[in-house]
Amino acid sequence: MTRENWTSSIGFILASAGSAIGLGNIWKFPYMAGENGGGTFVLVYVLCVAFIGLPVMCAEMLIGRHTRRNIINAMGKVERLSGSVGARFVLSTLSAGMAVAFATMEAWLPVALALAGVFLFAKKGFSVLGWVCTVVALAILSYYAVIGGWIVEYIRLALTGTLVPEAAGGVAAVEVAKTSQTAFAAYVASPWRVLWGFGVFMAVTGAMLLGGIRAGIERMSKILMPLLFVLLLVVIARSVTLPGAGEGIAFLLRPTLDAFTPKVVLMALGQVFFSLSLGMAITVTYGSYLHKEHNILRAAGWVGVLDTCAALLAGLAIFPAVFAVGLSPSAGPGLIFGALPAVFDTMWWGPFWAACFFFMLFIAAVTSSVALLECGATVFIERLRRGHKRGSRRTAVLIGFALCTLMGLLSVFSTADWGHLPWLGRAAEACMGDLYRGNWLDTLDNFASNWCLPFTALSTALLVGWAWTPRRAAPELLAAGEDWRALPALWGFLVRWVSPVGILLVFLYVSGFLGL
Ligand code: PHE
């Protein structure tokens, strides 16, 4: 398959930023910050972006551009060209370490997966890591689409003027927030209502890959994404002028030492990879379309800055309101669905702004989910072709689509409780031990974002930093003919030492092997 190239750096940066900016920034970042100590989380997050996220992002883009293969062949090829025979045993050992860590948490399903990893990594090397990335991407899509479905429902509510429940009309924002929170809890507790939003979101994602509406949505997203930033500013303007908003700003921006724990660092780290779309094949795939004339450092820098700005702006939009209306910052995944209706309710033309906001968030989420599904599909397409079956794009997309939909149903039917699937609930609790979080959506998110993504990112950093080595890889960071010295050298140091050691230390502290 010949790979097309991005025609311009700007095109590449916008496409990568489009896949990076999504629900992770606007839905997940605020509630993770709220649950993990506010300013402390934000500070750790920004440091992790700079010292761990960006170096890994450059590494992934490099792997993609150098090999121009799908993730599985790309990982295998880098391993081969680095001529390292020991690398796969390091990977295998890491996997064994993960198995031990999961065993201490009594998470038996992850233990089994990690043990299978020990064997497969030793036998087949880094191409197995490519499979892991692909599977993680599809797993993430399965619940990402459920949140996307919530957004679809909130667009509907805004359009029909029922975003703020009837009873709350004309009362103070504090009351509105309480009713919105209860309404949200009631909504996720009725899976049949969640199901239609999930269906719409998956259908749009699938249609974008198969139905030729992709170009249209991408053109639209070029206009709507900047507008999303503008609208965030509008919401911020309203949110910070609510009485009592100052406390929220302080919560978000003032770190405290008390709140600092290894768990906060693990959560921040997982969020960095989730938000920058790292460790799940996407950046490698995007990099494989990147032209030699493009400067990878610059592209990664831009994506990192845009993505982090989006997250911080979302935080600034949410927390002043959360404090002003007396919600708890640690309300969990429902945080923005409690706070935002209260903000919009106090705005002139509130339902209109609400509909616009949720619509743009929907578009941002769709550009991300398409990236997720496409990566899975690319792998299946190239695999099907190799097996001499006439693999078509349609079959591949449908396989990925069906897998995600089936997995997503588990999240849909368990978000409030497992009442609809009691057996599965008990099984999930028994299999996931301390990783279990009450429902499948949060449990899978916890496992995928906080454990799998740091693991795949760590392995990628080790592969590039130690097997391929920055000496061979770094010159490719620059565009042909450019000659900067300092930055590639700095990248080499970060990817070889800082990122892997940082991630390893976090794993060791969180699983209790090192004490703080
Ligand atoms: N980075 C996206 C976000 O922040 C989520 C995502 C994850 C998108 C993985 C693509 C791949 O919402």
Whether 7 shows a pLDDT value over 50: the answer reads yes
What are the phi and psi torsion angles at 154 (to 5°)?
-70, -30
Question: Residue 446 — pLDDT band, cuts 50, 70, 90?
Answer: very high
- pLDDT of 1: 40
What's the 195 CA to ligand 1 centre distance in angstroms? Answer: 21
Question: Residue 166 — pLDDT band, cuts 50, 70, 90?
Answer: low
What's the 22 CA to ligand 1 centre distance in angstroms? Answer: 6
What's the 259 CA to ligand 1 centre distance in angstroms? Answer: 27
- pLDDT of 514: 79
- pLDDT of 168: 53
- pLDDT of 52: 98
Average pLDDT (306-316) is 97
Count the neighbouring beta carbons within 10 Å of the beta carbon of residue 163. 24
Contacts of 20 (CB under 8 A, 6+ apart): 275, 276, 277, 303, 306, 307, 368
Average pLDDT (172-194) is 91
What's the 21 CA to ligand 1 centre distance in angstroms? Answer: 7
What's the 241 CA to ligand 1 centre distance in angstroms? Answer: 31
**Structural domains of the chain, with CATH:** 9-434 (1.10.4160)
Residue nearest ligand 1's atom 9 by CA: 277
Tell me which range, 163-177, 197-211, 447-461, 483-497, is most confidently predicted by mean pLDDT.
447-461
In 302-331, which positions are buried (b, 16+ CB within 10 angstroms) versus exposed (e)? Answer: bbbebbbebbbbbbbbbbbbbbbbebebeb
Distance CA 225, CA 266 (A): 29
Alpha helical stretches, state H, 387-439 = 393-414, 422-432
- pLDDT of 325: 92
Whether 335 shows a pLDDT value over 90: the answer reads yes
Residue nearest ligand 1's atom 11 by CA: 277
* Token reading at 411: 């999240």
Q: Is the CB of 371 under 6 A from ligand 1?
A: yes
Q: Do 213 and 207 meet the contact criterion of CB atoms below 8 Å apart? A: yes
Q: Do 31 and 331 meet the contact criterion of CB atoms below 8 Å apart? A: yes
Question: Residue 211 — pLDDT band, cuts 50, 70, 90?
Answer: confident
Report the predicted TM-score, pTM, of the whole model to 2 decimal places.
Answer: 0.94
Distance CA 305, CA 225 (A): 15
- Give pLDDT tens digits for 352-399: 999 999 999 999 999 899 989 988 888 877 777 776 555 577 888 898
Contacts of 55 (CB under 8 A, 6+ apart): 461, 491, 494, 495, 498, 499
Whether 167 shows a pLDDT value over 80: the answer reads no
Ligand 1 pocket: which of 133, 136, 141, 275 to mutate (most atoms <8 Å of CB)?
A: 275
- DSSP for 40-76 reads HHHHHHHHHIIIIIHHHHHHHHHHHHHH-S-HHHHHH
Q: Is the CB of 355 under 6 A from ligand 1?
A: no
- pLDDT of 2: 47
Rounded to the nearest integer, the mean pLDDT of the chain is 91
What are the phi and psi torsion angles at 160 (to 5°)?
-90, 5
Helix axes 108-124 and 422-432, enclosed angle (nearest 10): 60
Average pLDDT (273-279) is 96
Whether 213 shows a pLDDT value over 70: the answer reads no
What are the phi and psi torsion angles at 86 (to 5°)?
-85, -20
Q: Is the CB of 456 under 6 A from ligand 1?
A: no
Average pLDDT (17-46) is 96
Q: Do 463 and 75 meet the contact criterion of CB atoms below 8 Å apart? A: yes
Q: Is the CB of 145 under 6 A from ligand 1?
A: no
- Give pLDDT tens digits for 405-429: 999 999 999 988 888 889 999 999 9
